Amino acid sequence: ITPASMTIIFLSITIGTIMTMSSSNWLMAWIGLELNMLAILPIISKPKTTRASEATTKYFLTQAIASAMMLLSSTINVWQTGNWNILELKNKFSTTIMALSLMMKMGAAPIHFWLPEVLQGTTLQTALLITTWQKIAPVTLMYMISNNIQPTILVSAGILSMIIGGLGGINQTQLRKMMAYSSINNLGWTITIMAFSPNMALMNICTYIIMTTPIFLMMTNMSTKTLQNLSTTWTTSMTMTLSIALLMLSTSGLPPFTGFMPKMLILNELISQKLTTLATLAI
């Protein structure tokens, strides 16, 4: 890919996300997401391997289905209310489909199966882009409609994401798959608290992005793709290996690291909302 086409691609990804975040109309939000999705496909398929082609196809099909669900949801809502406004999503059926489509776009459970596979088939830089930047637009839309979504749906998907993300990551030797399950787990926390405190959900996802970015950048710098590679980098770059280990502990939410702060605040909010059972499940 030439520098000029790369510039156009990255510009499209940026514009697509900003368009979705700043729009108040479902059609404009949808166009932004489509622009974003179409622009990232050449980046995923850049390595000329079978795995990369497979990852591109999986990503495209999943995002296309999620976009179709978004259109269906917003169209049903327009029939009912006569309004394309994002904040006017009043129909319960529409809201449920919209929530599921946004979860699918983010890669949250139970529609998460594409995420580990896609990350495994791409480069570390592309994996970074998918786990961070590509989540901003759907999370923003979910934030906008969080008042209208039934808390049961969000909480169920959130708890399921936490469980799948936690258990799925244990069994992995590939660092990209491990980071994918870490992403699913973190989305679980974000979605669970979205029903009760949307601002806290935004804080959680921002903290996750800030912590994940240096992990991927350091893994790219050291060309580590498996746990075995990571264990041998200790001899060549002790500082970087130690930094990755500490950042991973932080991402998992271990005190006294930064990643523990949003999780502690989320648990505090759940307990104050008289959802002690839910807080216990989250732990």
Q: In three state form, how does the secondary structure of 86-120 look?
A: HHHCCCHHHHHHHHHHHHHHHCCCCCCCHHHHHHH
Query: Average pLDDT for residues 239-266, to the nearest whole number?
Result: 92
Query: How do residues 172-216 score in pLDDT, each as one tens digit?
Result: 899 999 999 999 999 999 999 998 999 999 999 999 999 999 999
Query: Average pLDDT for residues 248-263, to the nearest whole number?
Result: 92
Question: Angle between the 175-194 and 133-145 helix axes, to the nearest 10 degrees?
Answer: 20
CA distance 12 to 38: 9
Query: How do residues 126-168 score in pLDDT, each as one tens digit?
Result: 999 999 999 999 999 999 999 999 999 999 999 999 999 999 9
Query: How do residues 24-54 score in pLDDT, each as one tens digit?
Result: 999 999 999 999 999 999 999 999 899 999 9
Q: Which residue has the tokens 């930064």?
A: 258
Residue 47 burial (10 A CB sphere; 0-12, 13-18, 19+): middle
The model's pTM is 0.94
Cβ contact 112:164 at 8 Å: yes
Query: How do residues 214-226 score in pLDDT, each as one tens digit?
Result: 999 999 998 888 8
Query: Average pLDDT for residues 237-246, to the nearest whole number?
Result: 90
More confident residue, 90 or 99: 99
Structure tokens at 237: 């770059």
Cβ contact 248:258 at 8 Å: no
